[in-house]
Amino acid sequence: MSAGRFSRWFDRKGWSALLIGAPYLWLVAFFLLPFLIVVAMSVATKSPTAPPFSFGGEYPVVNLEAYSRVLSDGLYLRAFLTSITNAFVAMVLCLLIGYPMALCLTRVSKGWRNVLLMLVILPFWTSFLLRVYAWMGMMGRNSWFNGLLTDGWNFLVPLDWAVRSVPMMNTNFAVVLVMVYTYLPFMILPLYASLERLDPALDEAAMDLGSRPWQVFRDITLPQSIPGIIAGGMLVFIPAAGELVIPTLVGDASSPMIGRLISDEFSSARDWPMASAVAVTLLVLMVVPTMLYSHYQAKAEGSK
């Protein structure tokens, strides 16, 4: 193609092709290629070399020993179960707390809405580590927060069950509590975007037809906000399941989450094939439900 023809083609279609192709190039360079490298490492063999894996030898093509250990070793199965359980509980709590907050945002005046939205995103203006360390101080045995919970517990239970302080640090409770605090804005914002688009005339029509407020919420508001609930749930569940920092700082070391295991396998154990196999398995567990949801959502929208 001559320079003139290329220049004319670029003026007509080149800019649009460049703008459309840029995100795909980004995904290929920073997601697909690194993922393929991780997949290749997961079928390699651990070796004392640098880097600590190799191909060939006893397994000339692929070595599936790491995947076999992922599916049979109780340590990894417990870590997956702990990660999914903690992430699911955090997601449900974020939904129960975030839904009323998002609904409130759509019901207040514009002036208050801007202030409340700023308060929702305000935690992002401070360091993530600083916020986790603040929670570590609050959950300590001598903190005012722990003292408040201890007084409440001792007030509700018989005298024989009274405790000096509530043991919160290094437990799954602490992990879920900090994850709920951290990921709550990721639930509120998609819910707010979904609820804001609802037509208030539908609520008024239902009320005119005799529906009570809770019936309006059950029959109109809640069904129409399901896309926001699913989007917020995914934004909370997926990063929470692979969380590393929060379980490392406030979690129980005897019951690690899968992110901690991947970090330990890469660093202290120097078993890169094992760490890669765990990471690929976690990715498959997270991506397959997401793709199924996208497929059925597109199918449902196409049938309307």
pLDDT, mean of residues 259-284: 90
Place of tokens 């001559």: 2
CB-count burial class (<10 Å; 0-12, 13-18, 19+) for 242: middle
Tens-place pLDDT, residues 37-47:
999 999 888 88
pLDDT beyond 80 at 249: yes
Paired strand residues for 46: 53
pLDDT beyond 90 at 88: yes
Residue 81: its pLDDT value, please? Answer: 93
Tens-place pLDDT, residues 92-146:
999 999 999 999 999 888 888 889 999 988 888 888 899 999 999 988 888 888 8
Contacts of 158 (CB under 8 A, 6+ apart): none
Residue 56: its pLDDT value, please? Answer: 74
**Whole-number average pLDDT of the chain:** 87
pLDDT, mean of residues 255-264: 89
Long-range Cβ pairs for the range 105-110 (8 Å, 24+)? 105/188, 105/192, 105/195, 105/196, 106/192, 106/195, 106/196, 106/198
> 213, 239, 240: which is closest to 103 by C-alpha?
213
> 241, 233, 248: which is closest to 293 by C-alpha?
233
Residue type, 29: A
pLDDT beyond 80 at 261: yes
- Maximum mean pLDDT: which of 89-93, 160-164, 266-270: 89-93
Tens-place pLDDT, residues 147-186:
898 999 888 888 888 888 888 888 999 999 999 999 999 9
pLDDT beyond 70 at 301: no
pTM: 0.84
